[in-house]
A and B are shown apart, each in its own frame.
Chain A
Amino acid sequence: MSDPLVDIKGLKKSFGEVEVLKGIDLGIDSGQVVSLIGPSGSGKTTLLRCINFLVEYDEGSIRVDGREVGYEDDANSDRKPRGERELSAIRAQIGMVFQLFYLFPHLSALENIMLGLTKVRGLPKAEAHDIATGWLERVGLADKVDSLPAQLSGGQQQRVGIARAVAMEPKVLLLDEITSALDPELVGEVLAVVQSLAREGMTMIVVTHEMAFARDVGNRVVFMDEGRVLVDGPPTDVLDNPENERLRTFLTRLNPHFALEPH
């Protein structure tokens, strides 16, 4: 494969005076599952949200499947932000799952998934119904089809959130700390769904604190700190015995036993 599916070059973003992303270069090929780890404030969530332009990046470029996400594909250096219509079409190709789920509260689980299918992909209602039902079965919630979000547990809501994103058949799936807001016993069911998607070849960028997930499911780990990518490699290299000092500190803080385990 020539060009990466997600191609990030020289990405910079400041919020006011604070430079959160100081120049990110990252290429993600189709089928890869990349875990994005780092301390809070490292910019990993900001990076993720730039990819579908929920955050407007200042400098640099993000291309998904060859198309620049936020700005017009223009030869000259003048950057023109994309119009809403184009932006919406591009976002439809990128899926996102949120830490706080953000399911539409007035719609049932099924309708949450159907909304994008009917309104964005323009499918007829019957077809959307079938696809949505299929996805709910896929995430293990066949019996919750008509349930409202308020009637679902956190883990169930997040699974609906994943189904909602994946039903759009995106080229890449962005997962923003999707288990951080869950009670510990509900994390497993969500990670199981993500794992099965990974096995089927879904390209995913996962901001996470779950090192077990990063090691077992992902095939690449990217460590960020203070707006830069510091370490980038296979899970075993990055997580088991890294050379980078900051990474060692970070992993120790996450798991105090790390520094003590023999490697």
Chain B
Amino acid sequence: MDYHFNFTYIWRHFDRLANGLVLSLELALISILIGMVIGLTLALVHTDMGWKARALVAVYVESLRNVPLLLLVYLVFYGVPSIGGFEYSAETSFVITLSLYSGAYLVEVFRSGLDAVPAGLIEAGKAIGLTPWQRLVHVRIPTMFRISLPSLSNTYISLFKDTSIASVIAVPELTYGAQWINFNTFRIIEVYIVITPMYLVTGYAILIGLRQIENRFAIGVRS
């Protein structure tokens, strides 16, 4: 292999990678926050309401989970404006897509979290006279969050990796930055040698960080 490594090009354009990494983290964060709102609402609908509501939730969840994310990205970015007549930026459309996508996964996470709340805790809430709404807000949801914490952190890390797909609609996140450097400097191997640890280390750091948070909060839950 007579390839001559030359990292100077990479460092010259490193800001694309650094900014891209930050953007990836931001996109994932916004998407999971919106996704959590969607997921929690629909999980409550699914748990506490009738079969018709449950069926609608199932339609939403299954539609988003069984179609490739890439297709969803195209659908939202190219397809919707073409029939809606409006336009939005690539970033906006990607956040919408990823939020809907993560919402579909989080419905499952929150649903099983809600199911896992020990019945005795809910009874203890009843015993002190809390109304159903109060039991939901003060007992079920807080407990559900602590139970779901590990799944939530895994979901965030997954979403962080999924932001690489935004590169196909020219959102300047990390993979797009790498491809830009690839196409403009041909330093393909160097750039991948650089971004690989960027993804790995960031993912690992998030994992450790979230695990700390888990340990602080999850000590409260007794199974």
Most chain A CB atoms below 10 A, which of B120, B128, B142: B128
- The verdict on A192 contacting chain B, using a C-beta distance below 8 Å, is no
**Interface-facing stretch out of B81-89, B132-140, B170-178, B203-211:** B132-140
- The verdict on A254 contacting chain B, using a C-beta distance below 8 Å, is no
| Known contacts A98-B120, A106-B146; A149 and B222 CB within 8 A of each other | yes
Interface flags, B107-120, vs A, CB<8A=1, else 0: 00000000000101
Alpha-carbon separation in the docked complex, A48 to B219 (Å): 31
Contact residues of B between 34 and 83, Cβ < 8 Å to A? none
Interface flags, A73-113, vs B, CB<8A=1, else 0: 00000000000110011111111101010111110000000
| Known contacts A54-B127, A91-B129; A102 and B138 CB within 8 A of each other | no
**In the assembled complex, which residues on chain B have CB atoms less than 8 Å from the CB atom of A156?**
none
B120 near A116 with CB under 8 A, answer: no
Interface flags, B138-174, vs A, CB<8A=1, else 0: 1100110010000000000000000000000000000
Complex partner residue of B131 from A84, A106, A161, CB under 8 angstroms: A84
**In the assembled complex, which residues on chain B have CB atoms less than 8 Å from the CB atom of A105?**
121, 143, 146, 220-222
Complex partner residue of A120 from B120, B129, B217, CB under 8 angstroms: B129
B129 near A106 with CB under 8 A, answer: no
A115 near B128 with CB under 8 A, answer: yes
Alpha-carbon separation in the docked complex, A85 to B129 (Å): 9
- The verdict on A187 contacting chain B, using a C-beta distance below 8 Å, is no
Most chain A CB atoms below 10 A, which of B118, B143, B146, B220: B220
| Known contacts A102-B121, A119-B138; A84 and B132 CB within 8 A of each other | yes
Complex partner residue of A91 from B118, B126, B142, B222, CB under 8 angstroms: B126
Alpha-carbon separation in the docked complex, A150 to B221 (Å): 8
A119 near B134 with CB under 8 A, answer: yes
Alpha-carbon separation in the docked complex, A54 to B122 (Å): 10
- The verdict on B15 contacting chain A, using a C-beta distance below 8 Å, is no
The chain B residue with its CB closest to the CB of A104 is B139
**In the assembled complex, which residues on chain A have CB atoms less than 8 Å from the CB atom of B134?**
88, 119-120
**In the assembled complex, which residues on chain A have CB atoms less than 8 Å from the CB atom of B221?**
105-106, 150
Q: Distance (Å) between the CB of B214 and the closest chain A CB?
A: 13
Interface flags, A140-162, vs B, CB<8A=1, else 0: 00000000111100000000010
Complex partner residue of A119 from B130, B132, B217, CB under 8 angstroms: B130
Complex partner residue of B128 from A85, A106, A150, A164, CB under 8 angstroms: A164
**In the assembled complex, which residues on chain A have CB atoms less than 8 Å from the CB atom of B132?**
84
On chain B, the number of residues with a Cβ less than 8 Å from chain A's Cβ atoms is 24
Alpha-carbon separation in the docked complex, A235 to B145 (Å): 47
| Known contacts A102-B118, A102-B120, A104-B139; A88 and B131 CB within 8 A of each other | yes
Q: Distance (Å) between the CB of A70 and the closest chain B CB?
A: 12
Alpha-carbon separation in the docked complex, A196 to B132 (Å): 33
**In the assembled complex, which residues on chain B have CB atoms less than 8 Å from the CB atom of A151?**
219
| Known contacts A120-B130, A168-B129; A106 and B143 CB within 8 A of each other | yes
A150 near B130 with CB under 8 A, answer: no
A115 near B138 with CB under 8 A, answer: yes
- The verdict on B200 contacting chain A, using a C-beta distance below 8 Å, is no
The chain A residue with its CB closest to the CB of B118 is A102
Alpha-carbon separation in the docked complex, A85 to B130 (Å): 9
**In the assembled complex, which residues on chain A have CB atoms less than 8 Å from the CB atom of B142?**
104, 106
A100 near B129 with CB under 8 A, answer: no
Contact residues of A between 152 and 185, Cβ < 8 Å to B? 161, 164-165, 168
Alpha-carbon separation in the docked complex, A165 to B220 (Å): 20
Most chain A CB atoms below 10 A, which of B126, B129, B143, B217: B129
- The verdict on A208 contacting chain B, using a C-beta distance below 8 Å, is no
Task: Report which B residues bind A (CB closer than 8 A).
Answer: 118, 120-121, 123-132, 134, 138-139, 142-143, 146, 217, 219-222
Q: Which 8 pairs of residues, A with B, have the shortest CB-CB distance?
A: A92-B129, A105-B220, A102-B124, A116-B128, A96-B127, A120-B129, A102-B120, A106-B142
A102-B123, A105-B222, A168-B128 given. 6 additional CB < 8 A pairs? A54-B126, A84-B132, A85-B131, A104-B121, A104-B139, A116-B128
Q: What would 21 A/B residue contacts be, using CB atoms closer than 8 Å?
A: A84-B132, A88-B126, A88-B129, A89-B129, A91-B126, A92-B129, A94-B127, A98-B123, A102-B124, A104-B121, A104-B139, A105-B220, A115-B130, A116-B129, A119-B134, A149-B222, A150-B219, A150-B220, A150-B222, A151-B219, A168-B128
